Amino acid sequence: MTSWMVWSLLVVMCRAAGGESAEDQVVEFEDSNDTDPFVDDFEDIPYRGNIPSFISPLHYGIVLKANLRDWVYSGRTHVLINITEPCDQVPIHSAGLNISDVFMATYEPEGRGRRVPIMQVVEDKNQELLRIYPRRILYSGVYQLFIDFKNEFVSDLFWGFYQSSWTDEKGWKNKMVTTQFSPYWARHAWPCYDEPKYKATFKFFVDHESQYYALSNGAQESREPIRSGWVRTTFERTPEMSTYITAMIITNYRDIKGTTKSGIPVKLYGSHEKLQTSRRMLDTTIKTIDFLEEYFGVEYPMSKLDVVPVRRFGVAAMENWGLITAREDIANFDPTVHSAQWELQARVIMAHEVAHMWFGDLVTPKWWDNIILKESTVSWFMVFAADAIFDDFNFSDEYMVTYELIRGMDKDSSVNSRPAIANPESQDEIMNLFDEITYQRGGNLFRMIYHIMGPAPFKAAIHNYLSENAFNTAQMTDLTQNLQDEAPEYDLKSLIERYTLQKNFPVVHVKMLNRTHILVTQERFLFTNKEAVDDSPYNYTWHIPFTYTTDAERVDKVQILTERENIVELSKPATWIKVNNDFRMYYITNYDLVGWKKLYHQLVEDHTVFTTTDRIQLLSDLLNLVTADKLDITFPLQFLTYMKKETEFGPWKLATEHWNHLINRMSPAEKFAAKVKIYARDLMDEALKEVVKLNTSYNKPIKERLLQFVLVDTGMTVDHPVAHEFIDKLGELSRDGTAPGIRTLVRTDPLRRKRFNLNLLDINLHSYHWEGRHNKGPQKQLLFNISDEEVTGPTQEMITKSSGIFPFNDTTPPYPNPQPLDPDSGWIPEEKNTEESIDSEPATKPGPATDMISFDWDNMSDLTSPSFQDPLEREKRSSNNRRHSSRRRSQQHATSGEGTEPGIVYLQKLRRAKTDKKYWTELLHTLPSMKNPDDIRDTYWILCDTNNVTALKALLENSLQGSEDTQQEALDIISKTKPEVVWKFFKKNYDRYYQLYGKSQFTMAYLIQIVTEMLNTSDMKNDVKSFFKSNDPGTGEPGMMAGLEQIAENIRWKKNHRHKCRNFFFTYARKHAKGKN
């Protein structure tokens, strides 16, 4: 989703000609006796847009009367429609609206038109249509349709025209209403032709209470009192646009403003307090417009831009044309509160929305099957623009690979993936197009095309596409043609088709035949081949854009390999080769053993001969190959040891996520975790010692902040003494200006030290009540009931001492009948290992000569699958020789954050408490005042790391009940809570979850996925299957598919890798103890 820009000459002309023409007038309504009672039922017809092609809207006048006091509104849609064939019914989208009157007339530019008698109006709920039947056949011509309606502002969803609020500097809550229409929710706000191809001009009039003002796509034209306490705001007429990007907001926010180079006024809204620190985001917005306006060579299409924070929001941000809405923590981004990782996201998201002002808003996909035209393009332009605006991070390569590409490939490695261009057949299917394939995979497709074509031809093609299709709709074939026209030397059309019309992507096997010739073969890449069906029109072959780096040169000029098997001649003789420079092309690479070995040695010798992005790519490719059984898991573990010299953020982020995930996967095997920690501490030792010398201010360059954070964070997780020392020292210093992410580390330190000792957190938490974490002040309640046996001795003393600080109540139980903990339901049983315990020393201790995990380079056959040894002999691979690895790296928790209180003061308080129970409670208590999303996420991570099921259930229950902004919290809690507990809770509360998230784009799918994907036994898999047989997953179906696939992989992984991992880490630790590593 995203944003807006540019008044073209066309619009100006259009406006000059139209002026205040008759269709802008609000026509008085005549009483009509023609409407019969509405009929509810209607036959089911196949879904794919349902307005007949001979009807199209030309212009809307929409009048609203909004009453925020009672949360109700009424209105009239007056729409001018063009009918090109005789017809006996006129349909228009309308859903959930209380229609009070319908009236039709012919259109006479100079007069009011003649009335068209109506026989019947049918409300077709199934198709979300109002079907208007005139008494006589309508002949071709232009007609006026008037529909009066009433509605309530939606209170329980973040879609349609809905209630929100904001808190001002005095702590008062202020009402506001806002819209979110993408992809088909405008029809829930007012009747309209709610499909992207029906572009029309809009003129909005809104009557509202005078303490508010209204914002819409166009600039305000006038604001006039209409009666005591009420005003009418009239907006200028919009250019031709689709309904899903129309918007209306009524609020009383404050604002700050600026102007683009071309004179477009840009305003950013928020509370007085929040606006003090929002200047950075306003500047980012303006600079992005300036850059893109110049780059596209097309003026920003609207006459103004407003950026409005919305507290209750279902997506990160939305590109309403001229009126971007965004999460509060993005629009009001505050560097003193939000972490460096969040800053990266906020910059990119804002650039994404601004780029939409052209891609999506000015030129719109004709139908949702071509959503790639708006979301994928913009996912490239966002990082491209960020690179032009900021010089402190490499967005188009390092960010794109670390945050987008790896995630996209993870999703796209499944047999359940889909082609980028897919034809949705229901509303649910439209919703599900807003996924990783569209954003992450699609964005990288355009990144690839950019690097194939080169900057100038790509820029020219983009300019042509925008100019030729401005204020209109387009299809991918149009853009492909523009791109092809500018790059005649490449067959881009065939290349694009293969990457958009078939799912998945290739793995390219590379083997040096001699110093100048290499064999390059391709095959479809999948994590599992089990159910793969060859159903592609291109037989799952791709055109491979080939670039490479050798010890002799770096070649960025692309040659395209079209065969399954290709011989490439190098221009200079080389010793080693690394393919796909900076991971700019959408495929992964596998080398033969000798090739990998040379790359490893080069990394150990001097890793800086590869770019940072190249190094991220090597790690990512390795981990993907392991997951696909093409490599043994011990291979990347050994490969990672080059990182003793690594000093860049991206590789560290990937590596640490990987081994954090390994630890979690093996949990609760504590001895094993201890060995992983030895390995991790060893690898990060040097880098960590360097970063703790840096200061911790949030004004430092973002790269330094990111690196410091990821290393200290991981250092604490793996108990590196330097990390702990660093945090201790910070705590003592109480330093102001400490970067928000680091503050979180300080605050959570005491708990994290216990992290792998799960039973230490045995708090007896019966229940608590916790209301809206954003509601500061006395109405917030947090009640705990600690059992009598526990509240004795030193604990009692402590609680008494701290009673002024924490709302402990050790005398009166907060609930009349606290349930005693059921030992069976309250605690997760320790994992029963029928097989050899993962925590015990390996049964057969490998001798030094045959030590398979020492990664003996001269004796490597044991580590690789046959396909790795020789890609051409893939079919020889035996199925029982498969090996698996961990994945889901991209979904690891992103720690970092902010403190609402200066973190250090808080730390002092925290240190006063001495038991884990106290830490837990206090941390929970702090949540309501936290502002940084990363911080909140991190805190949940700690809170959820308890074996107390009652506490977990209480967290889950409250996440379903909170009054505001609970969606992200609920998802955070779920993703971090014990999978068995979550799954049981989810099943029990499925209806409530569906009610909350069922209508949100990707949320339901994501929810089901995170609820199921960590389950790892056959029984659990069957349980998931049977549950969804009797409970419709609805929009969540892709999540269910992904979850089931992941469970199967987890089962395989457990079977194949647990012991290999154990062997590797136990041996590493043993050798480390002897000083060998």
User: Interface residues with Zn ion (CB under 5 A)?
Assistant: 1-2, 375
The least CB distance from residue 352 to Zn ion, in Å, is 5
Q: How far apart are CA 1001 and CA 1006, in angstroms?
A: 9
> Cis link prior to 183 (omega < 30° from 0)?
yes
The least CB distance from residue 156 to Zn ion, in Å, is 25
The least CB distance from residue 183 to Zn ion, in Å, is 11
Looking at beta carbons only, is 243 or 717 nearer to Zn ion? Answer: 243
The residue ranges of DSSP E strands in 172-239, in sequence order, are 173-180, 201-209, 213-216, 220-227, 230-235
The tally of CA atoms less than 13 A away on the side-chain side of residue 708 is 27
Q: Which amino acid is at 30?
A: E
The least CB distance from residue 377 to Zn ion, in Å, is 10
The least CB distance from residue 773 to Zn ion, in Å, is 28
DSSP 948: B
Count of CB atoms situated within 10 Å of the CB of 781: 11
Q: Is 855 strand, coil or helix?
A: coil
The least CB distance from residue 836 to Zn ion, in Å, is 50
Looking at beta carbons only, is 1 or 6 nearer to Zn ion? Answer: 1
Q: What is the DSSP string of 564-597?
A: SEEEEE-SS--S-EEESGGG-SS-EEEE-HHHHH
The least CB distance from residue 404 to Zn ion, in Å, is 13
DSSP 764: -
Looking at beta carbons only, is 2 or 656 nearer to Zn ion? Answer: 2
Looking at beta carbons only, is 316 or 1069 nearer to Zn ion? Answer: 316
Looking at beta carbons only, is 376 or 413 nearer to Zn ion? Answer: 376
The least CB distance from residue 678 to Zn ion, in Å, is 44
Q: Is 394 strand, coil or helix?
A: coil
Q: Is 613 strand, coil or helix?
A: helix
Residue 129: which H helix or E strand, with range? strand 129-134
- Nearest to 461, CA basis, from 479, 488, 444, 473: 479
582: left (phi over 0), alpha (psi -120 to 50) or beta: left
First to last CA, the chain: 49
Please check whether residue 842 is in contact with residue 853, taking contact to mean a CB–CB distance below 8 angstroms: no
Q: How far apart are CA 532 and CA 528, in angstroms?
A: 8
Looking at beta carbons only, is 1 or 324 nearer to Zn ion? Answer: 1
142 burial type by CB count under 10 A (0-12 exposed, 13-18 middle, 19+ buried): middle
The least CB distance from residue 855 to Zn ion, in Å, is 44
Residue 99, strand partner residues: 149
Token pair of 741 as six digits: 């992410």
The least CB distance from residue 356 to Zn ion, in Å, is 5
Residue 92: which H helix or E strand, with range? strand 90-93
- Nearest to 181, CA basis, from 156, 161, 199: 161
**Residues contacting residue 476 through CB under 8 Å, at least 6 positions apart:** 370, 372, 373, 421, 496, 500
The least CB distance from residue 361 to Zn ion, in Å, is 10
Looking at beta carbons only, is 183 or 715 nearer to Zn ion? Answer: 183
| Range 495-498, long-range pairs (CB < 8 A, 24+ positions) | 495/452, 495/542, 495/543, 495/545, 495/560, 496/445, 496/449, 497/538, 498/538, 498/541, 498/542, 498/543
Token pair of 231 as six digits: 């005003």
| Nearest position to Zn ion, beta carbon | 2
State the residue for tokens 């040659």: 559
Looking at beta carbons only, is 368 or 756 nearer to Zn ion? Answer: 368
Give backbone dihedrals phi and psi of 578, rounded to 5 degrees, phi first: -125, 125
- Nearest to 749, CA basis, from 771, 776, 728: 728
Q: How far apart are CA 726 and CA 735, in angstroms?
A: 13
Looking at beta carbons only, is 351 or 710 nearer to Zn ion? Answer: 351
Q: What is the DSSP string of 514-525?
A: SSSEEEEEEEEE
Q: How far apart are CA 269 and CA 257, in angstroms?
A: 9
The least CB distance from residue 382 to Zn ion, in Å, is 9
Looking at beta carbons only, is 438 or 660 nearer to Zn ion? Answer: 438
Please check whether residue 14 is in contact with residue 236, taking contact to mean a CB–CB distance below 8 angstroms: no
Looking at beta carbons only, is 2 or 627 nearer to Zn ion? Answer: 2
Token pair of 428 as six digits: 């649910």
The least CB distance from residue 182 to Zn ion, in Å, is 9
The least CB distance from residue 2 to Zn ion, in Å, is 4
Looking at beta carbons only, is 243 or 885 nearer to Zn ion? Answer: 243
Please check whether residue 745 is in contact with residue 918, taking contact to mean a CB–CB distance below 8 angstroms: no
The crossing angle, in degrees rounded to 10, of helices 492-500 and 442-453 is: 170
The residue ranges of DSSP E strands in 635-725, in sequence order, are none
The least CB distance from residue 306 to Zn ion, in Å, is 18
Looking at beta carbons only, is 146 or 380 nearer to Zn ion? Answer: 380
If you count DSSP H runs as helices and E runs as strands, how many of each does the chain have, helices first?
34, 28
Q: How far apart are CA 486 and CA 479, in angstroms?
A: 11
The least CB distance from residue 370 to Zn ion, in Å, is 14
The least CB distance from residue 295 to Zn ion, in Å, is 18
Give backbone dihedrals phi and psi of 827, rounded to 5 degrees, phi first: -130, 145
The least CB distance from residue 351 to Zn ion, in Å, is 11
